[in-house]
Amino acid sequence: MPQNETISELGLDEYKYGFITEDKPVFKAVPGLSRDIVRQISTHKEEPRWMLDFRLKALDIYESKPMPDWGGDLSTLEATLDQIYFYLKPQEQMERSWDDVPQEIKDTFERLGIPEAERKALAGVGAQYESEMVYHSLKEQWEEQGVIFESIEDGLEKHPDLFRQYFATIIPAADNKFAALNSAVWSGGSFVYIPKGVTVEIPLQAYFRVNAERMGQFERTLIICDEGAEAHYIEGCTAPVYSTESFHSGVIEIIVKRGARFRYTTIQNWSNNMYNLVTQRAQVHEDGKMEWLDGNLGSKLTMKYPSCYLVGDRAHGEILSIAYAGDGQHQDTGGKVVHAAPDTTSQITSKSISKGFGRASYRGLCKVYDGALNARSNVECDALLLDETSRTDTYPYIEIDENTASIGHEATVSKVGDEQLFYLMSRGMDEAEAMAMIVRGFIEPVAKELPLEYAIELNRLIELEMEGSVG
Amino acid sequence: MTSRRANSAPAPVSGALASSDFSPLVPGVDDPPEVARARAAAWKRFSALPWPTKKSEAWRYTDLSAVDFGALTPVLHGAARAAAADGDGSLPEEARGVLARSGDRSGVVVLRDGQVSHIRLEPEAASEGIVLCSIRQAAESHPDLLRHALFEADPAPAEEKLWSLHIALLGGGFFLHVPRGVKLGAPVHAFHILERSGTLSSSHSFVHAEEGARAAVVDEFLTGGAAGEGDAGGGRNSRNGAAPRLDSVSLHGASVTGDAGSVVEYVSLQRFGPGVRHFSTQHVEARNDSRLVTFNVALGGELSRADVTSLLAGPGSDSQMLALWFGDSAQHFDHHTLQHHAAPHAHSDLLFKGALADKGSSVFRGLIRVDKGAQLTDAYQTNRNLLLSKQSRASALPNLEIEADDVRCSHGATIGQVEDGQIFYLMSRGLTRGQAERLLVFGFFEEVLARLPLEGVRERVRTAIEEKIGL
């Protein structure tokens, strides 16, 4: 994109994913949560008995745990949850061919550019609409090598042993209140297995769309990256703008085995009426490497801290987090690294931008257990404030029980400097262009790690959001 | 303990806090009406509040339930009278020993188990209108100042329980008031001596510098009854032999206020002997263009917690917050800080450094809060920790909450060990490993010591640290 393109020339609308599709779900549960709803979900999915038991037990755990009193404002969430549809089945069965997806759902994803992206540069695509995956496909080349890329339901049905061996082992139902909720009502998400030594060179992608009003989406993803394997998984999320609140609570569990390497990228652009409370965690074994690239641009409130549990010698974890908090948004994001083995290393880089009445908070944990010899971790957080009404916070927890560890944390908060603006304007830019350029430079370290189309999207968004921020 | 000392305090009641009949008001003992009212109100509040648990963020790493307050004997206010001390001859030997080796001072205060036993201001200082008196006297001479700082204080919810207990049981304290334009040349040196085991005592230090005035105070906390010339509880080598173990709790508060253009230096040097649990709450208020320095040194005791709040109340104000701690055996140090920027154009800089040996552990939780409208704030916060032994532990929680945009704020925290290369170098010059390590710790502390403006105070602290780490 030319650097001197002005904002008006970009011609972008406000939130371009805010459109609503008229749909005809095949099943819609009554709003609110109950044991009956949980049973209904399990029945619709024709699940084995153990899964129903797991769900019901998780529901008890959910009900016994108090609402978190930290992070964002959850004071009205309980009332919101009473009105939420916990399960909404959009079509009878998941399709393997794009042509078989119902027209109105297809239209939605066409407008979001998903099929086009698949043709161009993806190894596999999954699309979730409301509560279910409506489409899942994997290119033959990878299927032949034994890669599994299925909906989570098909994973349970077709690979029951592999599934049961790992499911809920990384994030047990009792991990936190919202992990318990997800465990009770989960629906949709991906099941991924990358066999030993296989490298999937181009990304797998899952796309999550909430269309209905007062919808709760609870996807559950389980990824096993076997020894020496490599892959990259991308998820994107959007929803229409309603006056009522919606709710999204995913659980993502990843196992990175010895010498494997996995990257998980999220570009969350939920509409501003969405609560987004997600638990994402990877267990990283000997010489394994896990990278989280976490982009939080949308939602009303996001509380999400991708985690790396480094359990094998020399395991490495990396979290790159970028958050944008505009008017009415609170991004409470960050990352956690837990060093539980010798010579493990980690890096967290967080960049946040707060604009208008937005609030961006970094919350993170760096924990080194006794015996994790020579663990090294470095955390850097930078926050940029664009208005006198915007707010930023930094809440890191550093807990070190091992004296050979070497741990560093640094954070800075600043506004766009008058000198920087003045310099760029003296070179012929107007103030808006200069501002956009400075912000782009600020997020560059994260943006350059994104796949090209996302990087462009992010840049456009920044341009758009800069509109009216000057003066 | 000599009988002379025992006579100076009223007969305490054992296990009083656990009794429903207990009242901190002592009939027949002269308590200024305002103090008595505040005491009664604080006792009521204390009785109504639950003890903070580890579930409270502010007490996450320090288990207050391990301190059995109910078993302690409160040392109530009353019988002690300030002795008319003409020279150092009548001072307790612990104080005399320190003073003999320290530089000049403007006044001396001695408190035993929280009760004032000596208070003396040099005639030269008195002639300039400086006031140094007991809190009780100040309640009559400066009721407004006292009320503002002590009885109208608004502690954070997590600190309210201990603060209420501090006020309810307030045994004594001193009041230093430096009038407009007067410069106190040398510090007032206060000795808080604990003498009896199983007690709960409370004292308060009050410092107010008027416009353009200058003041300096050293609060030194120690265990009495040690042999030698006042090295009670200090040195690594002498600690076990010299200072007796006292299973006591010391509550201390400090209120330090600097009016426009004033310069105030406040030092708390905690070198209690074994067994003591010390809780200190310090409120520092910096008004327009004032410069305030607080310096907390924690060396002794079993558990030492300091809550230090700096309120940047006026434009141009400057607060330096410094601290050092060295923990060994099973000592636990917990430092909580708040740099509260309520006014624009203010500057605060925090540097807290700790080193831990044996099973020593420490917590640093610091917050920079910049209010809306506190533009052009410059605020920095640095915490560095050295872990010297396998079993030492450190936690760091450097937090930021920023609601103004035109600010420069940063924080950094590190946890690590002494560099092998440096140890090797010193050992090649003939030092043992232990000597080399201690020398490097001393060098690590020097950066903080160098920021103390008054040379005499700097030397006093340096000596205390040398004694502790056995250099």
Asked if A407 and B392 come within 8 Å (Cβ–Cβ), the reply is no
On whether any CB of chain B is under 8 Å from the CB of A400, the answer is yes
On whether any CB of chain B is under 8 Å from the CB of A408, the answer is yes
Asked if A388 and B375 come within 8 Å (Cβ–Cβ), the reply is yes
Q: Any idea which of A206-215, B35-44, B86-95, B410-419 has the lowest mean pLDDT?
A: B86-95
On whether any CB of chain B is under 8 Å from the CB of A39, the answer is no
Asked if B385 and A400 come within 8 Å (Cβ–Cβ), the reply is yes
CB nearest to B389's CB, from A395, A397, A403: A403
pLDDT in tens, A281-317: 999 999 999 999 999 988 999 999 999 999 999 999 9
Q: How close is the nearest chain A Cα to the Cα of B402, in Å?
A: 5
Residue with the larger pLDDT of the pair A19 and A10: A19
On whether any CB of chain A is under 8 Å from the CB of B402, the answer is yes
Asked if A411 and B394 come within 8 Å (Cβ–Cβ), the reply is no
Radius of gyration for chain B, computed over Cα atoms and rounded to the nearest angstrom: 21
Q: Is the pLDDT of residue B220 over 50?
A: yes
From B387, which residue of chain A is nearest by alpha-carbon distance? A403
On whether any CB of chain A is under 8 Å from the CB of B359, the answer is no
Report the pLDDT averaged over residues A169-186: 97
Asked if A412 and B409 come within 8 Å (Cβ–Cβ), the reply is yes
pLDDT of residue A252: 97
Amino acid at B330: A
pLDDT of residue B288: 97
Q: How close is the nearest chain A Cα to the Cα of B414, in Å?
A: 4
pLDDT of residue B3: 37
From A365, which residue of chain B is nearest by alpha-carbon distance? B397
Cβ-Cβ contacts under 8 Å, B406 against chain A? 388, 415
Residue from B187, B193, B173 nearest B293 by CA? B187
- In angstroms, the CA B326 to CA B343 distance is 34
Q: Is the pLDDT of residue B237 over 50?
A: no
Of the pLDDT bands very low, low, confident and very high (cuts 50, 70, 90), residue A467 is low
pLDDT of residue A106: 76
From A405, which residue of chain B is nearest by alpha-carbon distance? B416
Report the pLDDT averaged over residues B429-451: 93
pLDDT in tens, B445-467: 999 999 998 888 899 999 999 98
On whether any CB of chain B is under 8 Å from the CB of A395, the answer is yes
pLDDT in tens, A52-98: 999 999 999 999 999 998 899 999 999 999 999 999 888 777 777 77
Asked if B404 and A413 come within 8 Å (Cβ–Cβ), the reply is no
On whether any CB of chain B is under 8 Å from the CB of A5, the answer is no
Q: Is the pLDDT of residue A231 over 80?
A: yes
Asked if B402 and A392 come within 8 Å (Cβ–Cβ), the reply is yes
Q: Is the pLDDT of residue A1 over 50?
A: no
Q: Any idea which of A405-414, A441-450, B198-207, B400-409 has the lowest mean pLDDT?
A: A441-450
Of the pLDDT bands very low, low, confident and very high (cuts 50, 70, 90), residue B395 is very high
Radius of gyration for chain A, computed over Cα atoms and rounded to the nearest angstrom: 22
Asked if B403 and A408 come within 8 Å (Cβ–Cβ), the reply is no
Of the pLDDT bands very low, low, confident and very high (cuts 50, 70, 90), residue B240 is very low
Start-to-end CA distance of chain A, whole Å, equals 25
Residue with the larger pLDDT of the pair B95 and A347: A347
Q: Any idea which of A109-113, B106-110, B427-431 has the lowest mean pLDDT?
A: A109-113
From A359, which residue of chain B is nearest by alpha-carbon distance? B403
Secondary structure (DSSP) of B77-107? S-S---B---SGGGS-HHHHHHHHHS---SE
Of the pLDDT bands very low, low, confident and very high (cuts 50, 70, 90), residue A125 is confident
Optimal mutation site among A359, A363, A378, A394, interface B, most CBs of chain B within 10 A: A394
Provide the number of CB pairs (under 8 Å) joining chain A to chain B. Answer: 108
Asked if B400 and A400 come within 8 Å (Cβ–Cβ), the reply is no
From A417, which residue of chain B is nearest by alpha-carbon distance? B406
pLDDT of residue A8: 34
CB nearest to B403's CB, from A70, A391, A403: A391
Amino acid at B437: E
Start-to-end CA distance of chain B, whole Å, equals 30
Q: Is the pLDDT of residue A469 over 90?
A: no
Cβ-Cβ contacts under 8 Å, A405 against chain B? 387, 415-416
On whether any CB of chain B is under 8 Å from the CB of A417, the answer is no
CB nearest to A388's CB, from B57, B405, B413: B405
On whether any CB of chain A is under 8 Å from the CB of B395, the answer is yes
Of the pLDDT bands very low, low, confident and very high (cuts 50, 70, 90), residue B86 is low
CB nearest to B417's CB, from A386, A404, A409: A404
Cβ-Cβ contacts under 8 Å, A391 against chain B? 401-403
pLDDT of residue A449: 77
Asked if B405 and A398 come within 8 Å (Cβ–Cβ), the reply is no
pLDDT in tens, B179-189: 999 999 899 99
From A396, which residue of chain B is nearest by alpha-carbon distance? B397
Q: How many distinct helices (H) and strands (E) make up chain B?
A: 11, 20
Optimal mutation site among B376, B403, B418, interface A, most CBs of chain A within 10 A: B403
Cβ-Cβ contacts under 8 Å, B389 against chain A? 403
On whether any CB of chain B is under 8 Å from the CB of A394, the answer is yes
pLDDT in tens, A309-368: 999 999 999 999 999 999 899 999 999 999 999 999 999 999 999 988 999 999 999 999
Q: Is the pLDDT of residue B286 over 80?
A: yes
Asked if A405 and B387 come within 8 Å (Cβ–Cβ), the reply is yes
Asked if A405 and B412 come within 8 Å (Cβ–Cβ), the reply is no
Q: With the CA atoms of A141, A146, A151 and A154 taken in that order, what torsion angle do they form, in degrees rounded to the nearest 10?
A: 130
pLDDT in tens, A416-466: 878 888 889 999 988 888 888 888 888 887 777 777 667 776 776 666 666
Quick count: other Cβ atoms within 10 Å of Cβ A20? 13
pLDDT of residue B76: 82
Cβ-Cβ contacts under 8 Å, B413 against chain A? 396, 398, 407-409
Of the pLDDT bands very low, low, confident and very high (cuts 50, 70, 90), residue A386 is confident
pLDDT of residue A462: 66
- Residue A312: helix, strand or coil by DSSP? coil
C-alpha to C-alpha distances, B417 to A76, A369, B356, B387, nearest whole angstrom? 46, 15, 10, 5
CB nearest to A410's CB, from B388, B406, B412: B412
Secondary structure (DSSP) of A33-61? --HHHHHHHHHHTT--HHHHHHHHHHHHH
- In angstroms, the CA A391 to CA A328 distance is 11
CB nearest to B401's CB, from A393, A409, A410: A393
Q: Any idea which of A193-202, A462-471, B2-11, B347-356 has the lowest mean pLDDT?
A: B2-11
DSSP element (H, E) containing A331: strand A330-339
pLDDT of residue B88: 66
pLDDT of residue B5: 38
pLDDT of residue B30: 72
Of the pLDDT bands very low, low, confident and very high (cuts 50, 70, 90), residue B8 is very low
- Residue A412: helix, strand or coil by DSSP? strand
Residue with the larger pLDDT of the pair B375 and A415: B375
Q: How close is the nearest chain B Cα to the Cα of A253, in Å?
A: 27
Residue with the larger pLDDT of the pair B88 and A341: A341
pLDDT in tens, B101-147: 777 889 999 999 999 999 999 999 999 999 999 998 998 888 888 88
Cβ-Cβ contacts under 8 Å, A389 against chain B? 372
Q: Is the pLDDT of residue B248 over 50?
A: yes
Optimal mutation site among A339, A346, A403, A421, interface B, most CBs of chain B within 10 A: A403
| Residues with Cβ within 8 Å of residue B17, at least 6 apart in sequence | B69, B70, B72, B74, B200
- Residue B390: helix, strand or coil by DSSP? coil
Q: Is the pLDDT of residue B471 over 90?
A: no
pLDDT of residue B148: 83
Q: Give the best-scoring range by mean pLDDT among A11-25, A82-96, A145-159.
A: A145-159
- In angstroms, the CA B111 to CA A316 distance is 55
Cβ-Cβ contacts under 8 Å, B410 against chain A? 410-413
Q: What is the mean pLDDT of chain A?
A: 88
Report the pLDDT averaged over residues B295-299: 97
Q: What is the mean pLDDT of chain B?
A: 88
Asked if A408 and B410 come within 8 Å (Cβ–Cβ), the reply is no
| Residues with Cβ within 8 Å of residue B48, at least 6 apart in sequence | none
pLDDT of residue B195: 93
Q: How close is the nearest chain A Cα to the Cα of B269, in Å?
A: 26
Q: Is the pLDDT of residue A387 over 90?
A: no
Q: Is the pLDDT of residue B227 over 50?
A: no
Cβ-Cβ contacts under 8 Å, B54 against chain A? none
Asked if B400 and A405 come within 8 Å (Cβ–Cβ), the reply is no
Optimal mutation site among B389, B405, B437, interface A, most CBs of chain A within 10 A: B405
pLDDT of residue A464: 63
- Residue B48: helix, strand or coil by DSSP? helix
pLDDT of residue B211: 97
Q: Is the pLDDT of residue A255 over 60?
A: yes
Of the pLDDT bands very low, low, confident and very high (cuts 50, 70, 90), residue A203 is confident
From A355, which residue of chain B is nearest by alpha-carbon distance? B405
